[in-house]
Amino acid sequence: MESPNKIAPPIKSYFSPELLKGQVAIVTGGSRGGMLKEIAQAYLQHGCKAIILMSRNAEKNGEVVKELSKFGTCHSEPGDVRKSEDCLRVARRAVELYGRIDILVNGAAGNFLASAAKLSTNGFRTVLEIDTIGTFNMSQAVFNTYFNTHGGVIINISAALHWAGSALQVHSGAAKAGVDTITKTLAVEWGPHKVRVVGIVPGAIEGTEGFERLGDLANMNNKEKSNQAFEKGDAKQAASGFKDSMVIAPINRFGVVQDIANAALYLASPMATYISGTNLVVDGASTLIFPNF
């Protein structure tokens, strides 16, 4: 038997292809591909009758939807999660087109590396608006449109940035802390309506925009070079200092998008009906040895 420490990225699904039979999911923020596209694909491959992919970038969203259409019905809906009216329109459209909503995946997020000394108020606000207010807006829209009377599952994509202090991430860390609060609060408030609210905390996941843009944060071992850059407020240089020593999770590999899709399948499924108000950490134990990520 293979050692559990050498667990390879999954190459096939062990879930029933009917796990989510007939269900409808709205996924926000999938237009950049990565883990959200993979979640949408996995949902289609496990029985979902339709996915509504919502993004403010209509062109990119359309391209991803075209690719996902190989796996089932996927509908592109332009919209900005920062605008409550867009969220309401998308939720209503989902019901109008497909008659129901079963799953909402709040994945839309903004991020970049910026030193706290130089980040503008608007830069801070923008990330909070996309991540935190966007998660709230979309959850409220889906609840008031459908979940309040039918129940459903909300999956919020969070991060571990705020567990400790992640340099250059004051905006995103604050935003994700807000997202976690939303997860817990809505789980309590909407539990009686048969709504479960859960989060996923991904570690370093290869092939995602976050990994490309922020992966340098995974290299906090080499702080010396970076510290000098911090002092100068040079975010880019500080990040490149991290880059010299890559930290890989104890599980001995980076994550892959299928790891996150598997978690999202499980959490949306009937196997997880007693799980609500909490995050599932999918990081190969990396945050245990590297709390700043």
Under rule CB under 6 A, residue 52 binds ligand HXC: no
Helices (H), 69-169: 84-98, 121-128, 134-142, 148-150
- Alpha-carbon span 70 to 88, nearest angstrom: 28
Q: Which of 106, 132, 145, 172 binds ligand HXC (CB under 6 A)?
A: 172
Under rule CB under 6 A, residue 238 binds ligand HXC: no
The mark string for 152-171 relative to ligand HXC (x by CB under 6 A, - otherwise) is -------x-x----------
Of the chain, the end-to-end C-alpha distance in Å amounts to 32
Q: Is 25 helix (H, G, I), strand (E, B) or coil?
A: strand
Q: Which of 33, 47, 123, 233 binds ligand HXC (CB under 6 A)?
A: 123
H or E segment and range at residue 214: helix 209-214
> Smallest distance, Å, CB 2 to ligand HXC?
29
The dihedrals phi and psi of 284, each to the nearest 5 degrees, come to 60, 25
Longest distance between any two alpha carbons in the chain, whole Å? 57
Under rule CB under 6 A, residue 240 binds ligand HXC: no
Residue count at the site for ligand HXC (CB under 6 A)?
A: 21
Under rule CB under 6 A, residue 209 binds ligand HXC: yes
Other Cβ atoms closer than 10 A to 207: 16
Under rule CB under 6 A, residue 181 binds ligand HXC: no
Residues at the contact surface with ligand HXC, assessed by CB under 6 A:
109-112, 114, 119-120, 122-123, 126-127, 130, 159, 161, 172, 209-210, 213-214, 217, 293
